[in-house]
Amino acid sequence: MTRRRILILAEQCNPEWPSLPIVGYKYARALAKVADVTVVTHVRNRENIEKAGDMGAPVHFIDTEWLAAPMDKVATWLRGGDQVAWSTNMIMSYPPYVAFEKQAWRTMKDRVNAGEFDVIHRITPMSPTMPSAMVAKGDVPFVIGPLNGNLDWPAAFSGEQKREKERARGLRDLYKFLPYARRTQTKADCLLAGFQHTIDDLNLADPNKIISFPEVGIDPELFHAGRARGPFAGDGPFEFLFAGRLVPYKVPEAAVRAFASSEKLKAHKMTIIGDGPELPRLQAIVAEHDAQDRVIFEGRKTQSEVADAMRRADAFVFPSIRELGAGVVVEAMACGTLLIVTDYGAPGALVSKGRGISLPLSPMDGLVRSNQKAMEACVDDPKTHEAIAGAGCEYAHQAFTWEAKAQYTAEIYEAVVNKAPLRSFTAYD
């Protein structure tokens, strides 16, 4: 297969910033191993990218801080911090991002028009609400994604939505009237979309140009199975784990209430990794059930420490009710940990086909009961659940290593250059 020349747009691309920036960085770095890549990113990422020194490709930095910095300050003020109100953050990100792409085009257009690139690939931002000002510029095929978004708030969790300050969510569909929105879908040569909830949002695009392709990935040297688990091996208490921001939509309350209120689980342990505004509520629940010796709050941890905790745990309990990508689910699967998740959004899709335990979406009390029943079943029948965890681990390492994702992306580049039919990669379906 020809090694293609790729211009990558990755406004969010940072090896030390969590969530989307580090995903963008790792994806770009992996692509540099299968293609001749040139990366265009924001100047705010320069220090950490240069310190890492492992991109393996030239990087051009675009400086739009004249607009991005004040808009970020306004967004933080409107949100009351940086933990909640993500819809507000996306709305405030639109003008700075359009400015980024326009400046990127001014910087790179001579090289694009001179035929130095076979494909332009925008890998971040990943929200389908963020249109591209560069799509259809020049004659170079344009790939966008992976995109992820368009997962509604469940009606039964209006209280959690209010605590998340997500009132702006009701304005979401107005993005389709923004400049560049329509042509982003209609003019792109390929759109990579994570999960059905995002594919359904791309209703202006040619379905033959949409490929199911989640954005999450794993570093197998960090996330891997590393021990014979206690109950699975016939000894020791069962260890349950929740890891993530302690915010309303991740519903850590359901996991903690389910565990702390169970008589059967009193001989076992739950660890909570993370911090956030829900922490006092969770601590009060634990105190109410006198479970301080069984439910351990460990605060924030490094990625390496989280991976170690996943290997120590027997089951990862993640009842989140509005999870778009669920990178933490794939990471836990890769560590050989049994997944117990809510069947809504990305987690349910990831653990389908016998790769984990998915529980029906229901109001809070029902979610508590189903999680409790699932955790008690783990204790009653560890061998069956060990096999399920093994299937999840195999799937994560087959489909979600950055190397595997980059190799598949290289096939996409070849198809769009040759105007060949796009082949879905069934591992992501």
Is residue 240 included in any domain, yes or no? yes
Render pLDDT for 29-80 as a digit per residue (tens, 0 to 9). 999 999 999 999 999 999 999 999 999 999 999 999 988 888 778 666 655 6
What is the number of other CB atoms lying within 10 angstroms of the CB of residue 3?
11
Residue range of the domain that includes 411: 5-217+401-428
Which token pair is 271?
Answer: 């660890």
Q: 139 in a domain, yes or no?
A: yes
Are 389 and 317 in the same domain?
Answer: yes
Same structural domain, 316 and 405: no
| Cβ atoms within 10 Å, residue 408 | 18
Give domain status of residue 340, yes or no: yes
**In 242-326, alpha helices (H):** 252-260, 279-288, 303-312
Residues 235 and 355 in one domain: yes
CA distance 427 to 413: 18
What does the block give as tokens for 185? 């879908």
Q: Give the per-residue pLDDT at 233.
A: 53
Amino acid 169: pLDDT: 61
The answer to whether residue 222 sits within a structural domain is: no
pLDDT of residue 79: 57
224 is a domain residue = no
The partner residues of 10 in beta bridges, in order of sequence, read 124
Residues 156 and 259 in one domain: no
Residue stretches of the chain with pLDDT short of 70: 74-92, 161, 164-175, 227-235, 425-429
* 306 and 246, same domain (yes or no): yes
Q: Are residues 26 and 132 in the same domain?
A: yes
- Listed in sequence order, the residues at least 6 apart from 120 whose beta carbon sits closer than 8 Å to its beta carbon are 6, 7, 9, 112, 134, 137, 140, 141, 142, 143
pLDDT at residue number 237: 87
Which candidate, 47, 44, 87, places its Cα nearest to that of 69?
44
Average pLDDT, the chain: 89
For CA atoms 121, 126, 128, 130, give the dihedral sign. Answer: negative
Query: Domain check: are 286 and 144 in the same one?
Result: no
CB 251 within 8 A of CB 320: yes
Sequence-distant (6+) residues with CB within 8 A of 197 are: 149, 150, 151, 324, 345
What pLDDT shows up at residue 99? Answer: 93
Same structural domain for residues 236 and 277? yes
Measured CA to CA, the distance from residue 116 to residue 269 in angstroms comes to 57
From 339, 246, 263, 248, select the one nearest 297 (Cα to Cα).
Answer: 246
Q: Could you tell me if 210 and 311 lie in one domain?
A: no
For 186-212, how does the pLDDT look when each residue is reduced to its tens digit (9 = 90+)? 999 999 998 888 999 899 999 999 999
Beta strands 269-273; 190-193: pairing state:
unpaired
Residue 362 lies in a domain: yes
264: domain CATH number is 3.40.50.2000
What Rg value do the Cα atoms of the chain yield, rounded? 22
Tell me whether residue 225 is in a domain.
Answer: no
The predicted pLDDT at position 18 comes to: 83
Tokens 């490929």 correspond to 211
Please write the tens of the pLDDT for every residue from 316-342.
Answer: 999 999 888 889 999 999 999 999 999
So what's the pLDDT on residue 429?
63
How far is residue 42's CA from residue 95's CA, in Å, rounded to a whole number? 14
**Looking at the structure, do residues 301 and 415 belong to the same domain, yes or no?**
no
Prior bond of 146 cis (ω within 30°): yes
Residue 66 located in a structural domain: yes
d(CA 398, CA 339): 17
100/33 same-domain check? yes
pTM: 0.90
DSSP state letter for 130? S
409 and 384 in one domain? no
Write the DSSP assignment of 141-170 as a string of letters.
Answer: -EEEEEE----PPPGGGHHHHHHTT-GGGG
What total number of domains does the chain contain? 2
Place of tokens 């009237």: 177
Reference 318, options 268, 228, 249, 394; nearest CA is: 249
3-state secondary structure of 370: helix
Q: Give me the torsion for CA of 173, 176, 181, 183, rounded to 10°.
A: 130
